[in-house]
Amino acid sequence: MLQKTTKVVVFVVLMLALSTQAFAQDEPTVLRFPITSDPASLEPGLVKELVSGQLALNLHAGLFTYDIDTNVVPYLVSDYTVSDDGLVYTFTLRDDALWHNGRPVVAEDFKLGWERYLDPSLGAQTAGEPWEVVVGGTELFAGEAEELTGVEVINDQTLQVTLTRPSLSFLQSLATPVTWVVPMESVVEGQPEWVDGPVGAGPFKFVEWTPNVSIVLEANPDFFLGAPEVDRIEFVVVPDTTTALAQYEAGELDIVAVPPAELERVSNDPVLGEEIQYFTRAQIQYAGMNQSMFEPFQDVRVRQAFNYAIDRETLISAVLNSAWTVATGLVPPNIPEYNPDLEGYAYDPAMAQQLLADAGYPGGEGFPTLELATLNSTNAEAIAAMLNANLGITVEIIQPERGDMIDGLWSHDRWQFFLFGWTADSPSASVWTYEMLVCGLDSNFSTYCNEDVDALVDSARTSTDFEEAKADWQAAEAIAMEDAAMIPLGYSRYIYLVDPSVTGFRANLFGPLGFETVVKS
């Protein structure tokens, strides 16, 4: 009798164990990743900041993309040819790609999608730039044409694009999310709005968006490269990076960026130190001086004085735990046009004081109180203290919500002085020397303007010879540095904590790649 009872107990325990295991296998795997704010948009062509770009890589797909080595590789394209004169590109689309609504992706989607982004009323931050080189692109954006004449739909799988001139960067443009499109039936014509929910062709599908809380995506079983390994992604809104780190340590997040101020503690922790992953990044962290809002910044001597008054070495080593390296220019290392010969501004308080006095503010006398907008008060406090100690000026720190900060940068009318970072979305000096410096561009947050810089940038962008273009990019950057167009502070890098249960997390120069390769055990 005892033996029979024992067998029954063993059987029950075994069945419970098997049922528990089966239940665990049925539970969806959820990857929890923090974002600092709600995105500006979930439509790829309306990306304005890093959060929108990160979500676009998971929701959407384009003709091309960047791989882990930052090479341009086909994505929705299965094959392509370029004419001998470099003007005509013919793209053959994959025949197995579906939009999340179930409809096949066809060539016409790209012609219509690009025409949508060339409607100025839509507010795409690219302002027509990727299509300047396409026949009819400039005319359509200016309202002088009704279609993008240089784009022809040959059939459902074949798209032909004709350029006005050969371009070294056209395929790079097609690999960035701002040129990726969505099905026209999913968006409101002429408005930055979805008819229902976001629809893309990427590895994950939209589930829900709770503002200021989270955005949830689920695996797309019909993704043309195969279904992702994780079932869901929860992009959790955590504005404060220190809070996000605490949530990671509490097991509430699976991946988190390490704040520079916490790097030493995390590195020395016996557990967390084993979970750190480092990735090379193409980003400049800088202080911008808005010349249109703060009149003293219109004087180059004032801008140069600010550059000489900031001790970058101490800022980076003592405040940021060497999470950055000192910036000597605007274009970061690992970009082909990077100039290693630029020396930047040395820390020279005496020179700074002389320049400020020459500008009419000896010892800071008569210099107006300056507002410094930032998302990181620690960095701002250190910089404000240096400017006060070395120039005798008063700097008041304001810390807006991230969305307000970004809106103010793009509008040019809210922040006199600001700390921000500018990250590559293509491996070209154009990201910094064009986008941040050319007169009148919305992305020129400092409202700097120098016609000599513009001429060199224009020459670089239209050149078909890489070495000639590189020389022009570097010459333009050198002038802007002499002009003290902004205050380069440091080149940052990606530093993440990744939970041991997570594998397959990847990043290239631009940031984390899509999460379709991530596995969570």
- Tens digit of each residue's pLDDT, the chain (521 residues): 444 444 444 444 445 444 444 444 568 999 999 999 999 899 999 987 778 889 999 999 999 999 999 999 999 999 999 999 999 999 999 999 999 999 999 999 999 999 999 998 888 877 668 899 999 999 999 999 999 999 999 999 999 999 999 998 899 999 999 999 999 999 999 999 999 999 999 999 999 999 999 999 999 999 999 999 999 999 999 999 999 999 999 999 999 999 998 999 999 999 999 999 999 999 999 999 999 999 999 999 999 999 999 999 999 999 998 999 999 999 999 999 999 999 999 999 999 999 999 999 999 999 999 999 999 888 999 999 999 999 999 999 999 998 899 999 999 999 999 999 999 888 999 999 999 999 999 999 999 999 999 999 999 988 888 999 999 999 999 999 999 999 999 999 999 999 999 999 999 999 999 999 999 98
* Domain 204-280+508-520 grouped into CATH 3.30.450.20: no
Specify the amino acid at residue 381: E
What integer pLDDT is reported at residue 127 of this predicted model? 67
Is the overall model pTM greater than 0.85, yes or no? Answer: no
Q: Among all chains, which residue has been given the structure tokens 């009704």?
A: 146
Nearest to 180 by CA among 339, 56, 17, 307: 56
Residue 13's SS3 state is: helix
CATH for 63-186?
A: 3.90.76.10
- Distance from C-alpha of 312 to C-alpha of 317, rounded to nearest angstrom: 8
Nearest to 431 by CA among 184, 198, 196, 129: 129
Q: Please, which residues have CB within 8 angstroms of residue 237's CB and are 6 or more apart in sequence?
A: 34, 35, 36, 37, 38, 212, 213, 214
Show the DSSP H helices in 366-482 as ranges: 377-391, 402-411, 451-462, 466-482
Yes or no: say if 256 and 34 are a contact pair by the CB < 8 Å rule: yes
If you count them, how many residues does the chain have? 521
DSSP state of 298: G
Helix (H) or strand (E) holding 9: helix 2-26
CATH classification number, 283-491, choose in 3.10.105.10, 2.30.40.10, 3.40.980.10, 3.90.550.40:
3.10.105.10
Yes or no: say if 241 and 257 are a contact pair by the CB < 8 Å rule: yes
Specify the domain boundaries for CATH 3.10.105.10 within the chain.
283-491
What integer pLDDT is reported at residue 22 of this predicted model? 43
What integer pLDDT is reported at residue 129 of this predicted model? 81
Specify the domain boundaries for CATH 3.90.76.10 within the chain.
63-186
What integer pLDDT is reported at residue 25 of this predicted model? 53
Strand partners for 467: none
Specify the domain boundaries for CATH 3.40.190.10 within the chain.
204-280+508-520
Q: CA-CA distances (angstroms) from residue 75 to 65, 95, 350?
A: 6, 12, 54
